[in-house]
Amino acid sequence: MKFVLKALFFLLATSAPAFAETAKKGVNLDAFFEPISNVLTSVIFYKVSLFGNEWSLIVCLLISAGLYCTLYMGFINIRGFKHAVRLAKGDYHDSSASGEVSHFGALCSAISGSVGMSNIAGVPIAIMIGGPGAIFWMIFAAFIGMSSKFTECTLATKYRTYKKDGTVKGGPMYYLSQGLAARGKEGLGKFIGKFYAWGLVIGCLGIGNLFQSNQIYNQLKNLCGNEGAIMHSGWLVGLIGAIVVGIVIIGGMKRIAAMATKIVPMMVLTYIALVAVVLVLNGSFIIPAIKLIITDAFTAKAAGGGIAAAMMIGFQRAAFSNECGIGTAAIAHSAVQTDEPVTEGFVSMIEPFIDTIVVQFATALVVVTTMIAVPEYVNMGLEGMSMSSWAFERHFSFAVYPLTFAAILFGFTCAVSWAYYGLKAFEFIFGEDPKRIFAYNVFYCLVYWSGAMINLKYVVNIADALIFVVAVPNIIGLYIMAPEVKAELNNYMERIKSGKILPAALRNAS
């Protein structure tokens, strides 16, 4: 372990002079990433004309999967939420069950991967592009996405396997390959599992990596008033972050879960408390903001493309953050300590609820109430993190400090979790050779480093495009294996009602 840490630090630190010199010369990576961004966006978000509007096929696929799982599972996102909370609290915990971490640990690890910079920086981007109505569709996407999350995390826990050291290997690549093989489609399962894994290995570099370090650096620049040495220190900010991320990810899922259970509750509560103060000060604008979000979602004024544009941006931004239908969080959830796969399906529904319906909606209210209170706010040339930050600083200048603290935590924990997701996909493709794993971790950290030196526009476009690729094979698998999940659910609920499955307190008492 010590050798690996020293080697990682050495490989990152020895390149610092070159990056510093590049920054001083004013050269950045925009010219390299812009053409990549343009190609990926045009291909992956290919649009078709329908009912007089332009619709993105990949987003339509996510919408259909969420609706299908919600209806097919009998609105499990509503009727199963109370039980999900009980499971997360540990009411049904079985210490003798197989797995690595508790339900709460798995949930916090998954939340750390979804609650990231997108929750603060992505929301104003969605509002500027799709109008306030995009927030309504973002919330709706999370609501139906809870059912998609339930389905994919149940499958991930059921089809997980174990390494020689007892650690878990799970996620869509495993349930796609094994689940389809069990249905006599071994060739298709192998292909679709590898397709997903390759997409994730590449895609994790965007949503959980480039975007996080980019927005952390932007917030630090904002903290310093966009002047001084910080303006040419992206390489240093990225370097420090890359080293810290590397130290955590080398410890595996148990270290990630230990970190997440301590940091995630604190960072979410810190941010919500900050939002609450701003909303109290913006109190008279809250009701008008909510009305604007709802009415704008159903009017032609919503963005340039009307309702369709608001829906597309809302669903795209929600999926970018809570990953419903994409399947990535199922990798973290599969490490749970349980012998009942469906239990983690229940717990996983809490993740999009907290990520989107609580945290993202809180950010949206801050931004929209500010838009109403200060009409010129939308024309200030602000974007992403800077736009959210100004809405807080408008009331008290010191807000930039707790906001920066929350932003750094959001971005750091997200990058750590996505490194784990990418690593599991990498292992699925290339095996468990320690040298290859080390090389992947170093490469991930180097990419994280570069994120602090790229223009926001291209970072967002690349991140969106790369991660949405993996939704295609995952959703195909959800449609095929949904009956299996429903059978697991029905069997579990029957045993709960009959008293065959008891809470831990009653089980221990007997």
- What domains appear along the chain, each with residue ranges and CATH number? 2-43+56-496 (1.20.1740.10)
Output the CA torsion sign for 78, 83, 88, 94.
Answer: negative
pLDDT for 51: 59
pTM summary value? 0.83
Unique residue bearing structure tokens 């509560």: 269
348: Cα separation from own chain's centroid: 13
What pLDDT is attached to residue 332? 87
**Residue 56 pairs with which residues in a beta bridge?**
47
- At 45 the three-state DSSP class reads coil
CA 381, CA 149: separation in Å to the nearest integer? 36
Q: Coil, strand, or helix at residue 336?
A: strand
Closest to 201 in 3D by CA, of 446, 443, 438: 443
CB 486 within 8 A of CB 234: no
Strand partners, 48: 55
Which positions ≥6 away from 398 have C-beta within 8 Å?
none
Rounded to the nearest 5°, which phi and psi values hold at 303? 60, -175
Taking the CB of residue 34, how many other CB atoms lie within 10 A of it? 16
Residue type, 389: S
Question: From the CB of residue 140, how many other CB atoms can be counted at a distance below 10 Å?
Answer: 19
* Spatial contact of 57 and 44, defined as CB atoms under 8 Å apart: no
DSSP for 421-489, please give it. HHHHHHHHHH---HHHHHHHHHHHHHHHHHHTTS-HHHHHHHHHHHHHTTHHHHHHHHHHHHHHHHHHH
- For each successive 10 residues of the chain (510 residues), what is the average pLDDT? 46 47 48 73 75 73 91 94 91 81 86 77 83 89 93 94 81 92 89 89 78 79 73 79 82 73 82 90 92 84 61 77 85 89 94 91 92 84 79 82 81 84 90 86 86 67 72 90 94 88 60
- Most distant CA pair in the chain, distance: 72
Distance CA 328, CA 195 (A): 14
Rounded CA-CA distance 18/12 in Å is 11
Name the token pair of 213.
């370090």
Closest by CA position to 114, among listed 413, 470, 367, 467? 413
Alpha helices, H only, 166-251: 172-181, 186-205, 211-223, 234-249
151-187 burial, b if ≥16 CB within 10 A, otherwise e? bbbbbbbbbbeeeeeeebbbbbbbbbbbbbeeeeeee
Q: 163 φ, ψ to 5°? A: -80, 170
Look up residue 194 and give its amino acid: K
Residue 393 main-chain phi, psi, to 5 deg: -70, -20
Q: H/E element holding 162?
A: strand 161-162
Q: Which residues contact 273 (CB under 8 A, 6 or more apart)?
A: none
Tell me which amino acid residue 497 is. K
Residues 159, 344: contact at Cβ < 8 Å?
no
- What is the CB-side half-sphere exposure of residue 189 using CA atoms within 13 A? 17
Question: Running DSSP on this structure, what letter comes out for residue 360?
Answer: I
Q: Taking a C-beta distance cutoff of 8 angstroms, is the pair 480, 60 a contact?
A: no
Q: Pick the closest to residue 222 from 233, 234, 230 (CA basis).
A: 230
Cα(276)–Cα(123) distance, integer angstroms: 17
Give the separation between CA 27 and CA 423, rounded to whole angstroms: 31
* Distance of alpha carbon 216 from alpha carbon 497, whole angstroms: 48
Q: CA 194, 420, 40, 36: dihedral to nearest 10 degrees?
A: -120
Q: How many CB atoms lie within 10 A of CB 86?
A: 14
